[in-house]
């Protein structure tokens, strides 16, 4: 749902370039992973958490990950500009030297780094909150792919495209078995009674870096925070709802479908904790 | 599972080229479709059926499909060589001119045609049959993506890569709810009593062009043929099992996991009907 200009920097395997071979398995099969990092003051935020998730993704997909040190260095170097940026890092299984799905047909690995200017975003979104809708496109359930940030994102494309871009800041998605999972590009948190809940991502969804950090911050604050299976009806009863990702941090939800809700104190407290943590980082 | 050399021809939007922009949404999200066509004697087999499925895929993904006539002409022209070839045609939603999943962030559409020499394959495979295994990776269920040949193929990559490439000719996959669906690159048919069955592909799997043709041929022969929900136990009891795709035609299965089975008369009859039909085409 977010907008930004075309990339101001593209590196392929560390070299400036704009194009990659059509035989790349990232194009052919979505055979790869990605990370999106927010960069401020010349530094990539939460870099270690992003690298950790990338490593986990490589392991889950059976991809070698011996380039992680190079990737870390490359991201750090690309972030070293005065203006705020977003870096998208894509890692694919490289070129298919033979046809066919088998990973033994792949040669090497390829990394693509794209740096964008950080989009100008109204600070009102984090202050007053955003409106979200419920997508009708659902997330298929597959534990083999759940949690990791892989390149098979058609479900998110379809969900995001169900309504005009300005209809809502985000679309929340249910799993094929009817559980609330996440937004198309965000994780979701709900305050129910005095408990902070975020849906489990063991059957579908992405284990967001910001989701992980918010769970840590909540625990450090003494909040009762947990990953749970989550019925969509919880959206009607939750005292507070907020969205997270690496770019937006925490966005309060002030309207979900037809329901208006206030920005509550748990959301505000976690926003403050997050600001402090990111200032330290 | 199949092998072939590197492409002998690549066209991007009709022009010779080997690379495409990294901002292409096919790479970024798997936001596109593909077709694989077998070509003999200078002609692309079953071209109309492939174009029809591509059109359906475009409709399902909300992609415009005004290039279908150009695609058809391009495939026909590329097939016009004396040796047998395989043509893989990829259509993506084009470049993301803004970040984000929403299809309104896409500009144009891009088509990539890759032509490979048809792999030398032993005629024994179609005569004596092949050995298949059961993959442990399952297919997530999502009616929004079922049936069409989209670019999100990580499940197939994982299933194919579970065993060495020479361990089996194909790996059969179950859905997340435990039904038999298809192979990683083929559809599957079973003869049960006097009925020919192929699993439904309305929750996952691809509605193969060869699957469609074989269902037509079976009906024309007076066979009782149907799409059905299919328990994996049917693999233990089916009298005959065979695999189909546009490249292989019909491969009898002579062993599935530990079970050996004969190549039966229904399989042989459909192979003969298919040969006659393809000779006419």
Task: Return the pLDDT at A209.
Answer: 98
Cβ–Cβ under 8 Å, residues A141 and A174: no
For residues B273 and A53, what is the distance between their CA atoms, to the nearest angstrom? 52
Q: Does B105 touch chain A (CB under 8 A)?
A: yes
Q: Which of B245, B30, B69, B273 is nearest to B153 (CA)?
A: B30
Cβ–Cβ under 8 Å, residues B153 and B161: no
Query: Which of B3, B102, B139 faces A1 most closely, judged by CB atoms?
Result: B102
**Contact assignment for B160 to A185 by CB distance below 8 Å:** no
User: Distance from B28 to chain A by nearest Cα, in Å?
Assistant: 6
pLDDT tens digit sequence for A112-135: 999 999 887 788 999 999 999 999
For residues A136 and A150, what is the distance between their CA atoms, to the nearest angstrom? 22
Return the SS3 of A219: helix
Q: With a CB-CB cutoff of 8 Å, which residues 37-76 of chain B face chain A?
A: 61-62
Of all residues in chain A, the one with the smallest CA distance to B178 is A142
Task: Return the pLDDT at B107.
Answer: 83
Q: Which residues contact A231 (CB under 8 A, 6 or more apart)?
A: A178, A179, A180
**Contact assignment for A153 to B99 by CB distance below 8 Å:** no
Q: With a CB-CB cutoff of 8 Å, which residues 110-169 of chain A face chain B?
A: 112, 114, 116, 119, 137-142, 144-145, 150-161, 164-165
User: Distance from B95 to chain A by nearest Cα, in Å?
Assistant: 10
Global confidence as pTM:
0.96
Task: Return the pLDDT at A194.
Answer: 87
Task: Return the pLDDT at B4.
Answer: 56
H-assigned helices in chain B: 25-29, 47-61, 68-79, 124-128, 154-160, 209-220, 234-237, 265-280
Please name every residue paired with B9 in a beta bridge, in sequence order, or none if there are none.
B115
Of all residues in chain A, the one with the smallest CA distance to B60 is A158
**Contact assignment for B140 to A142 by CB distance below 8 Å:** yes
Q: Which two tokens stand for residue A25?
A: 């398995």
Task: Return the pLDDT at A190.
Answer: 98
Instruction: Collect all residues of chain A within an 8 Å Cβ-Cβ radius of residue B10.
Output: 22
Task: Return the pLDDT at A18.
Answer: 96
Q: What DSSP string runs through B26-42? A: HHHH--EEEEEEEEETT
Burial B114-145 (b: 16+ CB within 10 A, else e): bbbebeeeeeebbeebbebbbbebbbbbbebb
Cβ–Cβ under 8 Å, residues A274 and A250: yes
For residues A271 and B130, what is the distance between their CA atoms, to the nearest angstrom? 59
Q: Which of A194, A140, A184, A131 is nearest to A161 (CA)?
A: A184
**Contact assignment for B101 to A156 by CB distance below 8 Å:** yes
Q: How would you write the pLDDT of chain B (281 residues) with one tens digit per residue?
A: 344 568 999 999 999 999 999 999 999 999 999 999 999 999 999 999 999 999 999 999 999 888 999 999 999 999 999 999 999 999 999 998 888 999 998 888 999 999 999 887 788 999 999 999 999 999 999 999 999 999 999 999 999 999 999 999 999 999 999 999 999 999 999 999 889 999 999 999 999 999 999 999 999 999 999 999 999 999 999 999 999 999 999 999 999 999 999 999 999 999 999 999 998 76
Is the predicted ipTM greater than 0.85, yes or no? yes
Task: Return the pLDDT at A1.
Answer: 37
For residues B68 and B238, what is the distance between their CA atoms, to the nearest angstrom? 40
Cβ–Cβ under 8 Å, residues A187 and A247: no
Instruction: Collect all residues of chain B within an 8 Å Cβ-Cβ radius of residue A150.
Output: 154
Most B CBs within 10 Å: which of A21, A24, A26, A28, as the mutation test of the B interface?
A28
Of all residues in chain B, the one with the smallest CA distance to A95 is B6
How many of the other CB atoms lie within 10 Å of CB of A70? 12
For residues B247 and A84, what is the distance between their CA atoms, to the nearest angstrom? 50
Element (H, E) at A26: helix A25-29
**Contact assignment for B161 to A103 by CB distance below 8 Å:** yes
Q: Which residues of chain A are under the pLDDT cut of 50?
A: 1-3
What are the C-alpha distances in Å from A37 to residues A79, A86, A89, A154, B94? 9, 6, 8, 21, 24
Cβ–Cβ under 8 Å, residues A248 and A126: yes
Quickly tell me which residue has 């040969």 as its tokens: B275
**Contact assignment for A30 to B112 by CB distance below 8 Å:** no
User: Distance from A52 to chain B by nearest Cα, in Å?
Assistant: 21
Cβ–Cβ under 8 Å, residues A1 and A160: yes
Task: Return the pLDDT at B119.
Answer: 82
Most A CBs within 10 Å: which of B64, B100, B164, B246, as the mutation test of the A interface?
B100
């Amino acid at each position: 749902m977010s907008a930004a200009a075309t990339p101001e920097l593209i590196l392929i395997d560390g070299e400036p370039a704009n194009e990659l071979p059509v035989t790349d398995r990232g194009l052919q099969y979505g055979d790869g992973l990605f990370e999106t990092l927010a960069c401020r003051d010349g530094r990539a935020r939460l870099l270690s958490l992003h690298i950790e998730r990338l490593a986990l993704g490589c392991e889950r997909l059976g991809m070698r990950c011996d380039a992680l040190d190079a990737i870390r260095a490359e991201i750090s170097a690309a972030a070293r500009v005065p203006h705020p940026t977003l870096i998208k890092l894509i890692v694919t299984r490289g070129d298919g030297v033979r046809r066919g799905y088998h990973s033994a047909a792949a040669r090497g690995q390829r990394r693509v780094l794209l740096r964008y200017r950080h989009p100008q975003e109204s600070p009102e979104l984090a202050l007053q909150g955003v409106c979200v809708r419920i997508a009708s496109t659902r997330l298929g359930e597959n534990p083999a792919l759940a949690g990791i940030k892989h390149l098979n994102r058609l479900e998110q494309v379809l969900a995001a495209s169900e309504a005009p871009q300005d209809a809502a800041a985000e679309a929340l998605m249910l799993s094929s078995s009817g559980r609330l999972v996440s937004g198309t590009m965000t994780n979701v948190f709900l305050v129910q009674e005095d408990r902070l809940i975020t849906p489990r991502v063991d059957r579908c969804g992405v284990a967001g870096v910001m989701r992980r950090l918010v769970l840590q911050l909540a625990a450090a604050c003494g909040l009762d925070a947990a990953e749970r299976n989550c019925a969509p009806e919880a959206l009607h009863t939750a005292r507070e709802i907020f969205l997270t990702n690496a770019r937006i941090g925490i966005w309060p939800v002030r309207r979900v479908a037809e329901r208006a809700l206030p920005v509550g104190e748990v959301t505000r407290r976690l926003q403050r904790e997050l600001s402090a943590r990111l200032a330290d980082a």
